[in-house]
Chains A and B, each alone.
Chain A
């Protein structure tokens, strides 16, 4: 017993070092799997406040670009206004019976919530954004984030007033996507090299792909609303060993100048996720 104490006293620094290392590596592996770190929400709150100060300065430099994006989005939305469309034939009248419309039970599936970006990186292998919206404003883990130009990422940690978003530019990010032309679905990920290009895999070789084709979010995704722009095809490579194309996608979103984004809530996300995990259990 005495010898053990002597051993501990003699190697106290080394033992401390080992304990700290083990602690670090446990945190790291746990975080990259589940995105739940020790003190995550407390730390999120503090770093969020500091990031907010910084983005207050830096947002001035991209005001012009932000303005242009918002004006473009306004124009697009204005084009969708009802009074821009005229019935083709004036002799016939369109009547929408509001009663039947209500009773068929249309429901709102996606809700959009505006959020300011207070932190953003594009240089690392695991890029995250920080938004100034948190659980008090109704943000939950798993919600999707879109910008005026295209999709951005998925919320991974939430504190009271801030939330962290795993951007598309993250080695673990995966989004279900489809070609606009023929609805061929595949999955989007990032190879970690260039922040303006993504990779679209598992597109069948029967699809007629050309450079410049638009890629949208697919209807299979649980958190992203369907038909939002992801990017355009910039390069096509076909692996002779498989039946799939690997496409290089130029992102629609400019990740370098993000200022304001929308957090999208799918009101049936929990239900869909639960069903998916149940069907996975039956497979095991």
Chain B
């Protein structure tokens, strides 16, 4: 029961943050809305026994990534008015009709328990740092190492882009 109440509260928070992100004229409000969504998602991870994932979500997403976004928004200016007119006249009503159909489909499907699978036999999944870490360095060792390679490539690429000048010269 408590879980359901928490879910409803934070689902509303997450949806509010997401809609704010999409609709806000000011990009700073968009970034803050996404931050609210990320915090709400961390609550859902905890309610699904993903404690370590929740901590990573808050530190990496709500902390590092959103700070980076806010820095870039401040760098490239926040007061640019955005043109919201559509070039295709029928696009918006058609999109609304399709959205209504899709939402109805999702809600109807969600109202019936259509998820099947080999459900957990009593013992819940363990989401502590210890359990996740031992799995990460055991079963998922190769993907984990590939992730390290990916991060190094991303960091090197970012530095290379930062050094790039318009005339093609390095420095």
Q: Are A and B a genuine interacting pair, yes or no? A: no
